Amino acid sequence: MLNLSRRDFVVSTGLAAALGLNARLVVTPAFAQKTADPAKPYVTYKIGDAEVTAVYDGIWEKPHDPAFIANASVEDVKAAMVKAGLPADFVSIPFTVVIVKTGGKTILCDSGTGGQVQPTAGKFMANMKAAGFDPGKVDAILISHFHPDHIFGLMEKETNKPVYPDMEIIVSDVEYKFWTDPSVIDRLPEARKGLARRIQAVFPNWKNIRQVTGEPEVAPGIHFVLSPGHTPGHRAFHLTSGSKELMISNDTAYVPALVVANPGWHGQYDQNATLAEESRRKLLDRVVADKIQICGYHFPFPGAGTIAKDGSGYALSLMKTA
Ligand SMILES: [Zn+2]
């Protein structure tokens, strides 16, 4: 099914009327989603006694752009997508929120796009409810970093009202201080200034944000893991339950077809690409050495698997789902 934003629909309807066509026949190619949504948009698996549910929010089929990877060509990027079994004509960037039930608590890992990032995403809240979760009964929300696709699910569109006014939102102090420093706006590239302004208009007014330093345990068996570079305070989350572990890698290796296979590729969205590469290699080496599972916010849904060394890079084997 086509996925048109309301504005597009209005434009399309107007255009259709002008052309004397039936609105149903008008397609806006830029928003025509090619990837089918998963038949079941939530998948639950166990890590020890913990129950992990991957909840699908949507996908961004990002058009190719030579600036996306600084040290690889669009042809290299296309070849990497094909090697990972993905379509070559765009970069698949799905969004998946992980919900962990552990030690009697229900913990959200990031918040989804809130339908404010791409017209083909914003299904998290509906899918979370379909998976049997009550958004009013979440115990805490862990935030990996302050990019829009990870935090806009915390705030209502336009009004900026909190979606989770009573839940503790836990974030790295480095990330919080970076984005809420008024002087950061002058230092950020043009494309990120609006994000910083919105963060500064919203988060300092909320009483339920807790800043944490380093790698503390933030929920039963869940620790923050330093993973800077993508943003200054980017964090992965490490879950332990019994003898099992899961590295919730967030955006450390955001599009695995590209940067798990080629950890030295420097992406446009890594604020400090050299540091991001260092964090990526360190985290992937740890996952390989400890033989633990890994998941990622932009990994192909449901986004969990294992990692092995593969030549100069790594190979991701994804969990199979029926
Ligand atoms: Zn992201």
Angle subtended at Cα 223 by Cα 222 and Cα 225, rounded to the nearest 5 degrees: 140
CA of 14 relative to ligand 1 center, distance in Å: 34
Average pLDDT along the chain: 91
Band of the pLDDT at 32, cuts 50, 70, 90?
A: confident
CA of 139 relative to ligand 1 center, distance in Å: 23
pLDDT at 319: 87
pLDDT at 133: 98
State yes or no: pLDDT of 272 exceeds 80: yes
CA of 95 relative to ligand 1 center, distance in Å: 8
Average pLDDT over residues 240-258: 97
State yes or no: pLDDT of 17 exceeds 50: no
pLDDT at 11: 36
CA of 25 relative to ligand 1 center, distance in Å: 34
pLDDT at 219: 97
CA of 254 relative to ligand 1 center, distance in Å: 7
Give the pLDDT confidence of 54-108 residue by residue, as tens digits: 999 999 999 999 999 999 999 999 999 999 999 999 999 999 999 999 999 999 9
pLDDT at 320: 78
Average pLDDT over residues 248-264: 97
pLDDT at 306: 97
Average pLDDT over residues 155-171: 97
State yes or no: pLDDT of 1 exceeds 50: no
CA of 17 relative to ligand 1 center, distance in Å: 38
Question: Two tokens at 279?
Answer: 């964090």
CA of 280 relative to ligand 1 center, distance in Å: 14
What's the chain look like in SS3? CCCCCHHHHHHHHHHHHHHCCCHHHCCCHHHCCCCCCCCCCEEEEEECCEEEEEEEEEEEEECCCCCCECCCCHHHHHHHHHHCCCCCCCEEEEEEEEEEEECCEEEEECCCCCCCCCCCECCHHHHHHHCCCCHHHCCEEECCCCCHHHHHHHECCCCCCECCCCCEEEEEHHHHHHHHCCCHHHHCCHHHHHHHHHHHHHHHHCCCEEEECCCCEEECCEEEEECCCCCCCCEEEEEEECCEEEEECCCCCCCHHHHCCCCCCCECCCCCHHHHHHHHHHHHHHHHHHCCEEECCCCCCCCEEEEEEECCEEEEEECCCC
pLDDT at 18: 39
Residues 129-151: b if buried by 16+ CB within 10 A, e if exposed:
eebebeeeebebbbbbbbbbbbb
What percentage of the chain carries pLDDT values higher than 90?
Answer: 88
CA of 230 relative to ligand 1 center, distance in Å: 9
pLDDT at 321: 67
